[in-house]
Homo-oligomer: A and B are copies of this chain.
Amino acid sequence: MQNDILLRAALNKPTSRTPVWLMRQAGRILPEYRKVREAAGDFKTLVTTPELAAEVTIQPVDILGVDAAIIFSDILVIPEAMGLPYEMEERKGPVFPKVVSSQTDINSLRISQAEDLQYVLEAIKLTKQQLNGHVPLIGFAGAPWTIFSYMIEGGGSKTFSKAKKMLYTNPELAHQLLDKITQSTINYLKGQIAAGADLIQLFDSWAGILSPEQYQEFSLRYIQQICEAINEVPKTVFAKGAFFARAEMNALPCQVIGLDWNMDIEESKRMLPNKVLQGNLDPCALYGSLDDVRRETKKMIDAFGSHPHIANLGHGLYPDTEVDKVKCFIDTVKEYSALRSKN
């Protein structure tokens, strides 16, 4: 591989500078993406058409100069493969016309196989061909608790009270569904790796709405199972809002832990001494001037210091971020961390 700096950093091997990529780098902010998106007509066509998914996956590598591609897809392909289809509504986000609320609903869901998501595997193969060894490709999936929440709520929520209600009223049922999601996710990630993914990342977007105790029982144990099952490539776990679980995450069988911007860097270094850390600039920092972006990025690089680090934002890029600010973030990481390495 021509640029394997991200893979080396994920394995805690020495690198000449800090590697950098951005969550949601494929899509949203690039005019080149919007053109493909418009031609496709809708989001799901883009996700399910391997040629188009590969095209938008590669765009940020060429245009922004990131050290990795991440396959363009959605975490909700898993519930769909299990038998619960989703729709993507413009400006509103994902919606499930049917939701899960009973034992019968759970019984009717299948444990999906990698082949059920052939279009993602095809997109990965195509992307790998087109990347031609330039940078590594990241595969991903949602963490079971986050997928579970979407399947129960039917979409986003302010309080996720339906999903949390099941944890209190029928924990057995919750565990049955979480188990089915976990098995499906393991099959899916193994398929992604067989198709060519060089690293994988688990996104636990709704980690932050659980109490520390519930997080252990209903989320972390399933993340643990997935991490134990996947040993072929380096693994990153990003649990947004799970500040309270950092000590336990230090013991997870994965290499990298993603931090959100609420998590203090010094404290996180102390709590996660065994892990490579990924993150964690506030996406809103990219709203500042180019000078602001440079200053905040350098501050972040300095704060991680000699701790093994992969630069990223503390959350996905926001849609109204300007491309030159994103480039400035990436360039500053590259230049400033190289300078620090030399000194």
Chain A residues packing against B (C-beta within 8 Å): 156, 158-159, 161, 164-165, 167-169, 208-212, 214, 241, 243-244, 261-264, 267, 282-285, 287-289, 292, 296, 314-315, 318, 320
Contact = CB atoms under 8 A, between A and B. Distances in A.
Given A169-B289, A211-B261, A284 B243 contact: no
Given A169-B287, A169-B292, A244-B243, A264 B164 contact: no
B262 A241 contact: yes
Contacts of A167: 284
A263 B285 contact: no
A284 B296 CA distance: 38
A132 to B, nearest CB: 36
Nearest to A282: B211
Given A161-B320, A244-B263, A262-B241, A287 B211 contact: no
Contacts of A209: 262
B168 A284 contact: yes
A270 to B, nearest CB: 14
B264 A212 contact: yes
15 contacts: A159-B284, A159-B315, A161-B287, A161-B318, A164-B284, A167-B284, A168-B288, A168-B292, A169-B287, A169-B289, A208-B241, A208-B262, A241-B262, A243-B262, A244-B262
A195 B169 CA distance: 44
A302 to B, nearest CB: 13
A287 B243 contact: no
A165 B287 contact: yes
A164 B241 CA distance: 18
Given A159-B318, A243-B243, A243-B244, A165 B284 contact: yes
Between A168, A267, A283, the greatest number of chain B beta carbons within 10 A of the residue's beta carbon is seen for A168
Contacts of A214: 282
Contacts of A210: 262
Contacts of A320: 161
A211 B262 CA distance: 5
